[in-house]
Amino acid sequence: MQPTNYKVETERYAKCIEGSKRIRWDIDKDVLRGREFDFSKKFLPDGISQVDRLDFLNDDERRFLSQIQGRTYASMFGFVERFIVAKILDITRDHWLGDQVALEALIRFCDEELKHQELFKQIEIMMANHMPAGYSFPWDPNEVAGAVLEKSTWAVMALIYEIELFTQEHYKKSIEPDENLSELYKDVFLYHWKEEAHHAVMDALEWPREDQKLTQAERDRAIDELIELVGSVDGILQAQSKSDAEYFLKISDRSFSEDEVVRIKDCLLKAYRWQYVFSGVEHPRFKALFSSMITEAQGQRVGQALASLM
């Protein structure tokens, strides 16, 4: 139910529709264009993969590690987009018999995320065809989405907003300026970024709208749920970073010292926590909106939970 006296900002949703129509792209015609990934180049830039911290690796090894991470990065998006679509569709309910502009903007949002999932599925097959066997990304998107969607809309919207903000941040700050990445890999995230920009605008309209429905006690419970969600995300990051590090070690044609193995595993876990958690929750737009809705004590609770991942 729409909170009483809530004014939907129709013009802002209308701008999102305008942007969505203007930049709409096609997977084959615009993004892939019959191309393959260039494996002589990195996929993820060092600013995201943090592989430059592993000074004992040679250039080939760093490039391979950036490609492994790049494969995980693409799979991770395809997988979180499953619960993003389900939740956004769920919140459209409030607009069904209300603001039809907001409804259209959110339906387009979902349509775009469905296309993104298809894009990430296709490029996973392309990457798998050129990389040695043994890589694993075992997460079932439906199973994880089912668990996420058990939490309150407020908590899930917090997670969605941080994801959609870091998507843009990573592209603008690290992927776009790097001249030495696989061109196709770079383009995938250029096109993805174009459609994500207006998603974050809508998240920032819908999350506070949801917030106005809650009592203090409900919001307090939602904070706990958000902390639980971050804990679950971290469980996935711990397992995936370990799996990716082990794949790298298995495929490498030389052995590493015990200390180096620890450093590789540690580098991946830190990088993944930064990629999927910290670069989102520390984004100025996330911080500003989040702190406008919560009490200081609630902020401290979240801060403590995040500090445990440092």
Instruction: Kindly tell me which of 163 and 181 has the beta carbon lying closer to Fe ion.
Output: 163
Q: Verify binding: residue 116, Fe ion, rule CB under 5 A.
A: yes
**Per CB under 5 A, which region of 51-59, 91-99, 195-203, 252-260 contacts Fe ion?**
195-203
Q: Are 149 and 86 in contact (CB under 8 A)?
A: yes
In the complex, minimum distance from the CB of residue 86 to Fe ion, in angstroms, rounded to a whole number? 13
Instruction: Kindly tell me which of 127 and 200 has the beta carbon lying closer to Fe ion.
Output: 200
132: enclosing H helix or E strand: none
Residue 181 has φ and ψ, to the nearest 5°, of -95, 160
Residues with Cβ within 8 Å of 185's Cβ and at least 6 positions away in sequence, in order, are 37, 38, 41, 43, 44, 70
In the complex, minimum distance from the CB of residue 56 to Fe ion, in angstroms, rounded to a whole number? 36
In the complex, minimum distance from the CB of residue 80 to Fe ion, in angstroms, rounded to a whole number? 8
CA distance 20 to 175: 22
Q: Verify binding: residue 71, Fe ion, rule CB under 5 A.
A: no
Q: Verify binding: residue 206, Fe ion, rule CB under 5 A.
A: no
Instruction: Kindly tell me which of 95 and 199 has the beta carbon lying closer to Fe ion.
Output: 199
In the complex, minimum distance from the CB of residue 207 to Fe ion, in angstroms, rounded to a whole number? 14
Instruction: Kindly tell me which of 166 and 248 has the beta carbon lying closer to Fe ion.
Output: 166
Footprint of Fe ion on 129-188 (CB under 5 A): 164
**Per CB under 5 A, which region of 50-58, 115-123, 124-132, 168-176 contacts Fe ion?**
115-123
Instruction: Kindly tell me which of 109 and 290 has the beta carbon lying closer to Fe ion.
Output: 109
Instruction: Kindly tell me which of 199 and 209 has the beta carbon lying closer to Fe ion.
Output: 199
Q: Which residues pair with 42 in a beta bridge?
A: 181
Query: For the residues of 79-124, what is the DSSP string, one character each?
Result: HHHHHHHHHHHHHHGGGTTS-HHHHHHHHHHHHHHHHHHHHHHHHH
Q: Verify binding: residue 82, Fe ion, rule CB under 5 A.
A: no
In the complex, minimum distance from the CB of residue 76 to Fe ion, in angstroms, rounded to a whole number? 11
Instruction: Kindly tell me which of 121 and 250 has the beta carbon lying closer to Fe ion.
Output: 121
Q: What angle do CA 260, 166, 210 make, to 5 degrees?
A: 135
Q: Verify binding: residue 196, Fe ion, rule CB under 5 A.
A: yes
Query: For the residues of 251-281, what is the DSSP string, one character each?
Result: HSSS---HHHHHHHHHHHHHHHHIIIIIHHH
Handedness of CA 174, 188, 118, 88 (dihedral sign): positive
Footprint of Fe ion on 84-113 (CB under 5 A): none
Give the SS3 label for residue 42: strand
243: enclosing H helix or E strand: helix 216-251
The residue to which tokens 């769920």 are assigned: 90
The residue to which tokens 């995230």 are assigned: 189
Q: Are 302 and 220 in contact (CB under 8 A)?
A: no
Rule CB under 5 A: choose which of 62, 151, 199, 273 binds Fe ion: 199
Number of residues that bind Fe ion (CB under 5 A): 4
Q: Are 128 and 135 in contact (CB under 8 A)?
A: yes
In the complex, minimum distance from the CB of residue 112 to Fe ion, in angstroms, rounded to a whole number? 7
Instruction: Kindly tell me which of 41 and 199 has the beta carbon lying closer to Fe ion.
Output: 199
Binding site for Fe ion (CB under 5 A): 116, 164, 196, 199
